[in-house]
Amino acid sequence: MSIPGGDIVTMIREMGVLINCTSDNVLRFIPPLVVTKTEIDEMITKLDSALDKAGGCYS
């Protein structure tokens, strides 16, 4: 990832998804022990939105 992970963590936390950042550019997901496919799809949508808002430049 070429953008600071901390910015992504802040944005997605405001959307209701818990993740954290390690090594400044590695995102770590913190899902509940029981999660549905719908909830995973929702999290991916929110992550995509946060990455786009942060500059859209990620790899």
Average model confidence (pLDDT) across the chain: 86
- Residue 12 or 4, more confident: 12
Assess if residue 48 is contained within a domain: yes
- Contact status, residue 59 vs residue 46, Cβ threshold 8 Å: no
Assess if residue 59 is contained within a domain: no
- Domain membership of residue 43 as a residue range: 5-53
The model carries a pTM of 0.76
Assess if residue 13 is contained within a domain: yes
For 8, counting Cβ atoms within 10 Å of its Cβ (0-12 exposed, 13-18 middle, 19+ buried), the class is buried
Q: Quickly state the pLDDT bin for 7 (edges 50, 70, 90).
A: confident
Assess if residue 19 is contained within a domain: yes
Assess if residue 21 is contained within a domain: yes
pLDDT digit string, tens, across residues 17-40: 989 998 888 889 888 889 999 999
The total number of structural domains that make up the chain: 1
Which of 4, 48, 39 is CA-nearest to residue 23? 4
Structure tokens at 57: 């430049």
Assess if residue 58 is contained within a domain: no
